[in-house]
Homo-oligomer: A and B are copies of this chain.
Amino acid sequence: MADQLSSTFAALADPTRRAILSRLSMGEAPVNELAQPFRMSLPAVSKHLKVLERAGLIARGREAQWRPCRLEASPLKDVADWAEHYRHFWEESFDRLDDYLRELKGSALKTRDLKNREKKHGAKQRKQ
């Protein structure tokens, strides 16, 4: 059996399933309502819902006919916590990009100043 975090990540590795969670973040909904925007058959949506349910990302009502789905967000806390460990790595890489861009801008300004100075110098020489 897969560990909880692996099941969560596997369930999230599909844009339809993430869209279903996004829809459920606006309130619970029955299966047919969830199926509509995806133009999917009910069995296809039910399959996605089963994956989400097994991962503990949704819960479903007990009524046999109308089993509304609702979001269960606590596994997403584990995802956020896990990713958070790597924050300083991505911040570091953005910082490096930032430094690089600043350097690039600096040398572009220097080149411009140099050219301006040369232009002025040329103009002075022509005046004399």
A residues engaging B (CB < 8 A)? 2-3, 5-7, 9-10, 12-15, 18, 21, 25, 71-74, 76-77, 79-80, 82-87, 89-90, 92-94
Within the oligomer, what is the number of copies of this chain? 2
Interface majority SS (helix, strand, loop, mixed), chain A: helix
CB pair A83–B90 under 8 Å, yes or no, is no
| 6 cross-chain pairs, A with B, having the tightest CB-CB distances, nearest first | A73-B89, A9-B13, A10-B13, A80-B83, A73-B90, A77-B90
Residues in chain B near residue A71, CB distance under 8 A: 86, 89
Residues in chain B near residue A18, CB distance under 8 A: 5, 82
CB pair A12–B14 under 8 Å, yes or no, is no
CB pair A9–B10 under 8 Å, yes or no, is yes
Smallest distance from the beta carbon of A126 to chain B beta carbons, Å? 52
Residues in chain B near residue A86, CB distance under 8 A: 21, 25, 71, 73, 76
- Measured in the bound complex, the distance between the Cα atoms of B72 and A77 in whole Å is 22
- Measured in the bound complex, the distance between the Cα atoms of B91 and A116 in whole Å is 58
- Measured in the bound complex, the distance between the Cα atoms of B74 and A92 in whole Å is 10
